[in-house]
Structure formats: C-alpha cells, structure tokens
Structure 1
Amino acid sequence: MEPFLVVEREENILIARMNRPDSRNALTAPEYMQEFVDLCAAIRRDKTVNVLVLTGNGSSFCAGGNVKDMRDKSGIFEGSPAELRNQYRDGIQTIPLCVYELDIPVIAAVNGPAIGAGLDLACMCDVRIASEKAKFAESFIKLGLVPGDGGAWLLPRVVGMPRATLMSLTGDMIDSSKALEYGLVTDVYPSDQLMAEAMKVARSMAANPSAALRMTKRLLREGEHMRLSSLLEMSAAYQALAHNTEDHVEAVEAFLAKREPKFSGR
C-alpha cells in the first residue's frame, strides 16, 4: 500500500503531501496517524531540515474522519466507550502532540477543503496559506460530536475565542476569503500558484540560521502558556546559546561586510 504521506525534499525543506485523494485525504486509519508520528520523529533527529510544508494531493486538504465508518461504527470508530477513548488517545491525538510540538516551522498549504480534523490539522501548523478553493469548517457538532483532536485548544489560538466559538458551535463552512478575514490564513492565492507561494515562504524561513529558527519557534510556542517573566528567563538562556553559535558570528560579519551569509548549521 502506498504511504499516506508522500515526502519529498528540496535542500533543507521537506514537503509532505497527504495522498488519499479518492477519500479527500480523510484520516481513517491508525497507520496514517503513525506516519505523522514517524515523520516528526525523523525530522527531530535530522538537524539539516529547517521547514516542513504540508499539503494534500487532489481536490482536498483533509476531510477529517470518514463519516461512513462513523455510521458503521467500524475502523477507528469501533468498540466500547473505553476502547474508543483509547483509540482517540493512541490514534488521532498523537498528531497534534507531534506536529504542533515540532521544533521547526510547519507551513500548511491548504489546497482545498479542510474539514473537522482537517481544519484542526491546519491549525497545528505555524502558518496557513490557502488556495482560493479552500474551505474550512469545525464541523464536529454537525455530526453530534465534539472536537476530539485538540480543536477546542487549537482553533481559539489561531482565530480568537469568539470566532472559534462561532465556528465550533455552528459547524458552518467558511470560504477562503472569510478565513483570511478571520486570520485563519495569512494569504489566499489561485490554486495553480499555491505551492509556489508556500515554497517562497518556506525558503525565506529555511534560509535563516537553523538554531535560531528552532529556538524562536520554541519561544513562540512556550509563550502561549507562560508568564512573561518565565518567557524572559527562557529567552535569556536561548539568547546566550544563540550568541555562541558559528551562524550568529557569520550573520554579523556578513551584515557588516554587506554580503550574503553562508550558514553552516553550527
């Protein structure tokens, strides 16, 4: 069976494409979720990767769960309440714990509908760029369900509590222009330009010193739940580390010499 995530590399950028276009890239099987875990573990070990771009093959980004499986109470929706609880904990909930916590920036190139868990997956990323064909819905409530994969934590941090409440309690779809208004995405492009634009952003990030890139991402993540005083302590420690990297020295020398820096990742 072909992998759910098809991964390619451009220098220090990874592009991962969800590859079940016939099912709109629905997250239907435990092995799909394990691929996210495995990919994130590999990225954590590979210090030469600076940015991950996530997108979907076909017309959709990710349709979330498979509604027919819900109806049939099959696959990941099979079992007693206790079994279902553990299937969520050991399945779909492993994705936010690995994707959201990655040290490198993650860009979602939302090529089409991002529905339910698909929207939450986009919210696990640091930056979201959308095709004009993209649509978004926190649609769990339409099926008599709650966000089971962290959406109630993720979505308010992206669009703010009032809009997250509106999206979560209506389950209604919004288009790419409304998503731009909400701040859910930073930019909207014609479909045929989406990946080129996403890669521009990825290259701009990836061109920076890798240690500073990772530490800045971590500070942004920790700052979401830390007191200012605690974050300042962490920032001071990280800055001391950054000042002692070879890439910092090279960046300063290149700036003063008015030349392009050549970073080594050290």
Structure 2
Amino acid sequence: MSGILIERHGDGVVVLTLNDPDRRNPMSDPAMINPLLEALRGIEHDPDTRVVVLTGAGTCFSAGGNLHEMKARSGMFGGSADQIAQAYHTSVQQLPLVLSRIDVPVIAAVNGPAYGAGCDLSLMCDMRLASTTARFGEVFVDLGLVSGDGGGWFLVRHLGYQRAAEISFRARPVSAEEALELGLVLSLHEPGALMDAALDMAREIAAKPAPALRMTKRLLRMAERSHLQDYLSAVAAMQAVAHGTPEHAERVSAAVAARAR
C-alpha cells in the first residue's frame, strides 16, 4: 500500500512514514507526494503536534524519482517543458515550502538509502539521525538532471558551497559514516535502534514549553536569511510574548524552587 502512514503519540510526537517499500518509497508519485503534503499541512495548523519524525518503510528511506516513469516520460515527467515545470511547482516543490513554514521541529530518521529527491527531503528536515545502512546521494547530474525540488539550496547551507559542489558535481553517494563526519547527520544507529533513538530525541524535545519551542524554530530559520537588525527586532518581539506565557512562569518558578533546595 502506497502513501503515508501517520502515527500520533500522546506526547505530541507524530511519526510520518513514507509507505511504498516495494518501490523504495519514490518521491515522484502523487500517491506519495499528495498525502505527505496533506499530512504536513495539517501539522502546520495543529497546536497539539510538538515534534515530527519522518522516516521510510522497509530498508530504504527514499530512492527519489521513479526511473521507469522518467524513461517513459510519464507522470510528472511527461508533457512539454512548461507542463513538466508546472508539475514540479505543484508537487515536489511544495514540500520545502510547507516544511519551511512548520513551526515544530522535524527529525528525519534516515533508515536506509536516501537518493535524489529522497536525499533532498531529508535535507529539508531540521535534524537527521541515520541508520548505519543509510546513504545520501545527490545523484541528479548522473541522470542528466538537476535537483528539481531545491535540494541544492539546502545542501549548500548544510555543508558550505565547496563540499556541496564536490558532492553534486560528482554525483557521489555519501556513506552514513561520512555523513556523520561532515555534520550532515547528528548520529548513527544500528537499523533496529534508529527509531527508538529518534523517538527518544523527539520526546525530549516535545517535553519543552511549546511556545518557546515554536518561536525558537522560527528564529533559527530566520537567521538563515535576515539582517542582524531585523533578526534582533524579531527576537525582542518573540521574547516579549514568551515572558507572558504560563509555560515561562511555571518553568521559572520550578527553577527558583530547585535552586532554593
């Protein structure tokens, strides 16, 4: 069964699983993209969601675009140049836009190979934990293509221009160990332990005060593209709001009481 599995935990953690393991969770089919977009848009407006974990079913995170459809010039790869461009605009390019708007942390649990659009999807997340079997591949130029969903934008920001260029120009897969060395992932785990590690991190984060968590993510994303003065103005405004939240009052009272013991 293709599509997305949605698992909601009572602690505010939501697990989204790319669920087409027989085809290695392709990121070019409407049956995968549309449910994922729907789930993410729902989370965007859900105050009860605190952290999202994104992973893949089976042994692959996502192998990217469907090569058979590329060869047949069918699906989103069919039609005129204008039609193909429009298909990208309305499908996979919506993913980075939606993920950039979500205020809660999104953790990618990369359970296996993440190639092409699958690699890009992992890069769109805030943090990545990986299985020792994971591989990250910006392999577009080997297919005579570019990263159609904006993955290069994220790769440069994660690794800097020179390393992003080397990996992209050579279309060289990056092993899990190298990804850890480069800082592309936070930690490596045996396949059977990956989801436990991702959920442990998600639950730890979900236990933090929700308003401060959401505002912190907004500011971290804003830091990528704003001038310092604009950033400081936003910090002041959000901090003023944070000082008035009941979560802040509760945490300060608890901290004061702990110091008095």
Flag whether TM exceeds 0.5 (same fold): yes
The correspondence of residues 47-86 of structure 1 with structure 2, limited to 5 A, is 47-86=47-86
CA contact under 8 A between 2:29 and 2:66: conserved in structure 1? Answer: no
Match of 1:264 in 2: none
Match of 1:6 in 2: 5
Paired letter, 1:22: D
Match of 2:211 in 1: 211
Identity of aligned residues (%): 43
Query: How far apart are residue 31 of structure 1 and its match?
Result: 3.7
- In structure 2, stretches of 5+ residues that fail to align are none
Structure 1 CA distance for aligned equivalents of residues 230 and 252 of structure 2 = 28
Question: CA RMSD of the aligned region, Å?
Answer: 1.1
Paired letter, 1:255: A
Query: How far apart are residue 110 of structure 1 and its match?
Result: 0.3
Match of 1:177 in 2: 177
Structure 1 CA distance for aligned equivalents of residues 101 and 163 of structure 2 = 24
CA contact under 8 A between 1:36 and 1:99: conserved in structure 2? Answer: no
CA contact under 8 A between 2:131 and 2:194: conserved in structure 1? Answer: yes
Match of 1:93 in 2: 93
Q: Count matched residues.
A: 258
Question: 1:189 aligned to 2:216?
Answer: no
Aligned partner of residue 258 in structure 1, secondary structure: helix
Query: How far apart are residue 39 of structure 1 and its match?
Result: 1.1
CA contact under 8 A between 2:104 and 2:217: conserved in structure 1? Answer: yes
Match of 2:147 in 1: 147
Structure 1 CA distance for aligned equivalents of residues 147 and 45 of structure 2 = 31
Question: 1:106 aligned to 2:114?
Answer: no
TM-score (norm 2): 0.96
1:215-264 deviation line (CA, Å, top 9, x unaligned): 000000011000111101000000000000000000101111229xxxxx
Query: How far apart are residue 44 of structure 1 and its match?
Result: 2.0
Query: How far apart are residue 78 of structure 1 and its match?
Result: 0.6
1:15-74 deviation line (CA, Å, top 9, x unaligned): 011000011101132242222221122112210110000000101001110111111101
Structure 2 CA distance for aligned equivalents of residues 204 and 109 of structure 1 = 16
Match of 1:263 in 2: none
Aligned partner of residue 205 in structure 2, secondary structure: helix
Query: How far apart are residue 3 of structure 1 and its match?
Result: 5.1
Structure 2 CA distance for aligned equivalents of residues 158 and 144 of structure 1 = 24
Aligned partner of residue 38 in structure 2, secondary structure: helix
The correspondence of residues 220-239 of structure 1 with structure 2, limited to 5 A, is 220-239=220-239
Question: 1:254 aligned to 2:250?
Answer: no
Structure 2 CA distance for aligned equivalents of residues 168 and 15 of structure 1 = 30
CA contact under 8 A between 2:140 and 2:147: conserved in structure 1? Answer: yes
Aligned partner of residue 172 in structure 2, secondary structure: coil
Deviates more, 1:151-160 or 1:250-259: 250-259
Structure 1 CA distance for aligned equivalents of residues 41 and 85 of structure 2 = 24
Match of 2:127 in 1: 127
Stretches of 4+ aligned residues off by more than 2 angstroms: none
Distance 1:100 1:3, change over 3 A: farther
Structure 2 CA distance for aligned equivalents of residues 194 and 31 of structure 1 = 26
Match of 1:262 in 2: none
Aligned partner of residue 101 in structure 2, secondary structure: coil
